[in-house]
Homo-oligomer: A and B are copies of this chain.
Amino acid sequence: MTPPVVSIVAKSGTGKTTLLEKLIVELKRRGYRVGAVKHDAHSFDIDREGKDSWRLTRAGADTMLITSPEKLAMVKQYHAEQEPTLAETVAAHCGDLDIVLTEGFKKSAMPKIEVHRRERSSKLLCRDEEQDPTLIAVASDSALNLDVPLYDINDAEGLCDFIVEKFLS
């Protein structure tokens, strides 16, 4: 079973990660198994130089796993293959979860909640700059006139009600 995916999108510097953190906390409080996916356009470096896991990846391991009684960590190289789509990534790694929230992935076809702050921009990515049919709600600090539900940017509980109602009921 592939869980539903909701992408939190925003112009940079609007506070996507902060809202995502609040939504994760709220969904966990309600007992859901939650995944979070972040896209990094650059070559991130999650592992630490000199550690055994880093040595195994450097030696050429296509997939490096560390497992402990508490958790699993994995670094998987894509090599010549294309980066999988968000839907493929979720299908491959999130089958045990109830819902997945993503940061970014503005161009995917997944449902989106846009975070908006007036001081950052007067315009919405998914409405003013283009008419994105996958937008399902907006979290803003401003009173906007919209064709989708509007939530206060700090109302993680209200947004969580909306997500549960739409995807988990």
Using a CB–CB distance below 8 Å, which chain A residues touch chain B? 17, 20-22, 24-25, 28, 33-44, 46-48, 52-53, 55-78, 83-84, 86, 89, 93-94, 96-97, 100, 103
B-chain residues with CB within 8 Å of residue A21 when the two chains form the complex: 55-56, 58-59
**A/B interface sample: 25 pairs, CB < 8 A:** A20-B56, A21-B55, A22-B59, A24-B59, A24-B60, A25-B60, A28-B59, A34-B60, A35-B61, A36-B63, A38-B66, A38-B67, A39-B66, A40-B67, A44-B53, A46-B53, A46-B66, A48-B48, A63-B94, A65-B94, A67-B84, A71-B77, A72-B78, A72-B93, A73-B75
> How many monomers of this protein are in the complex?
2
Residue from the set A40, A60, A62, A64 with the largest chain B CB neighbour count within 10 Å = A62
In the complex the two chains form, is A43's CB within 8 Å of B60's CB? no
With the chains together, A127 CA to B158 CA distance in Å? 62
With the chains together, A74 CA to B78 CA distance in Å? 14
Residue from the set A56, A58, A71, A76 with the largest chain B CB neighbour count within 10 Å = A71
* Contact partner, A65, options B17, B35, B61, B62, Cβ 8 Å: B35
Closest-by-CB residue of B relative to A86 is B67
Closest-by-CB residue of B relative to A25 is B59
With the chains together, A46 CA to B56 CA distance in Å? 14
CB distance from A100 to the nearest CB of B (A): 8
Closest-by-CB residue of B relative to A35 is B63
With the chains together, A35 CA to B41 CA distance in Å? 25
